[in-house]
Amino acid sequence: MKQYEHPPADAFELTAVLHALADPYRLFVVRSLAQVQPQPCAPLQAGRPKSSTSHHFMVLRKAGIVRTEVVGTAHMNSLRDAELEARFPGLLVSVLNAAENIPLEACAQPAS
Amino acid sequence: MKQYEHPPADAFELTAVLHALADPYRLFVVRSLAQVQPQPCAPLQAGRPKSSTSHHFMVLRKAGIVRTEVVGTAHMNSLRDAELEARFPGLLVSVLNAAENIPLEACAQPAS
């Protein structure tokens, strides 16, 4: 059974977190999970090919932003928000607040 | 006389700001300016070629993080911290706080 790797909280790197959040689709995933979590990957794909989605989720996991756990046949994603808040206080919250003026659906679309 | 272009505050884009801050050298520049501003480019070059420095400053200007003004023969850089705070409250402060555990000099070095 596939298991995903997740860095420990003390290995989170600030520039990796910022890089992970700097992409519109990844920001869409983070905002969606902030509203409802955990969620499987499928409703978060937003019409993207699975290979693209997998890459973006890997970036989010490596940065320490998302945890993916295998539950039966589903791969359930959640934010590591408490760990991020402990390590980089106020960062994720300020990004989520700043993103509120961007329509969530607009972020999900592949760049045209 | 060279003049630099700066976006108005209402055109700042969250993902561009995050992308600009996600680079170790650019984060070094922002942290340095947060300590002392304005500063000319030279003391912030940290041994980098001028072309590399110019590129990074352009990314910071385009994102709305840095303002460069020509004062006589010097190009003086400062943070647009008040405008950033008004547009994305808490974001720059949380990034600067999160960066405090990273030695400033370590950020300045080109990746080996």
What is the 3-state secondary structure of B15-29? HHHHHHHCCHHHHHH
CA distance A93 to chain B (A): 9
CA distance A5 to chain B (A): 22
> Residue B84 contacts by C-beta under 8 Å, 6 or more apart in sequence?
B9, B12, B17, B64, B65, B91, B92
- Smallest Cα–Cα separation from A88: which of B27, B81, B78, B35? B27
> Residue B70 contacts by C-beta under 8 Å, 6 or more apart in sequence?
B1, B2, B3, B4, B76
CA distance B74 to chain A (A): 30
Domain boundaries, chain A: 9-100
Residue of A10, A14, A91, A104 best to disrupt the B interface, most CBs of B under 10 A: A14
**Chain B residues touching A65 at Cβ < 8 A:** none
CATH of domain B9-100: 1.10.10.10
Token duo for residue A34: 């902030």
* Each residue's pLDDT tens digit, B47-57: 889 889 999 99
CA distance A103 to B14: 13
Token duo for residue B103: 């030695």
Inter-chain touch B19–A22, beta carbons under 8 Å: yes
pTM of the model: 0.92
- Would you say B97 and A90 are in contact if contact means Cβ atoms under 8 Å apart? yes
* Each residue's pLDDT tens digit, B2-37: 789 999 999 999 999 999 999 999 999 999 999 999
Q: Which of B24, B91, B99 sits opposite A95 (nearest CB)?
A: B91
Token duo for residue A6: 């997740």
**Residue A72 CA neighbour count, 13 Å, CB half:** 2
Inter-chain touch A89–B97, beta carbons under 8 Å: yes
- Would you say A27 and B14 are in contact if contact means Cβ atoms under 8 Å apart? yes
pLDDT at position A2:
77
* Each residue's pLDDT tens digit, A53-77: 999 999 999 999 999 999 998 999 9
CA distance A30 to A40: 13
Inter-chain touch A14–B23, beta carbons under 8 Å: no
ipTM at complex level: 0.92
